[in-house]
Amino acid sequence: MRKPMVWGLLLAAALLTAGCARTDLDLDIGEAGRIELYSGTDGEMVVIADGEEMEQITGEINAMTFRREEPSADYSGWRYLLKWYDSRGQLMEKVVILSETRIEYEDYFYEGEEGDGRIDLARLDELLDAGQAAN
């Protein structure tokens, strides 16, 4: 009688600790054909097709490790939206940028690990401004 109860308690403890386990996110976005950058403040969009610009943006995101936080389902508002497309026009990845270290990805908020670098928000602003000036 005691063995099933002990096994039951061990199983329950394992399930509880599994739910509390830390979940890290390391994005590995491959080579894109283009990136679409959207502004969360005015809805403007610019297409980035320059290889160096795409490498810089993608490299910043790929270099960071993000720690999963709370679900994002009940929140709205964002600063930037980045969408990576392959050379055939298929969506590869989508990331919402909230700050230099905070993103929303697949219905969760993620915070960048300390010392992992930052997302260059000033550069994203420059790209949007340049795109608006070209239109």
| pLDDT digits 0-9 by tens, 44-102 | 999 999 999 999 999 999 999 999 999 998 888 899 999 999 999 999 999 999 999 99
How many other CB atoms are there within 10 angstroms of residue 82's CB atom?
22
Residue 13, pLDDT above cutoff 80: no
Q: Two tokens at 8?
A: 């039951």
3-state SS track over the chain: CHHHHHHHHHHHHHHHHHHCCCCEECCCCCCCCEEEEEECCCCCEEEECCHHHHHHHHHHHHHCCEEEEEECCCCCCCCEEEEEECCCCCEEEEEEECCCCEEEECCEEEEECCCCCCCCHHHHHHHHHHHHHHC
The pLDDT assigned to 5 comes to 59
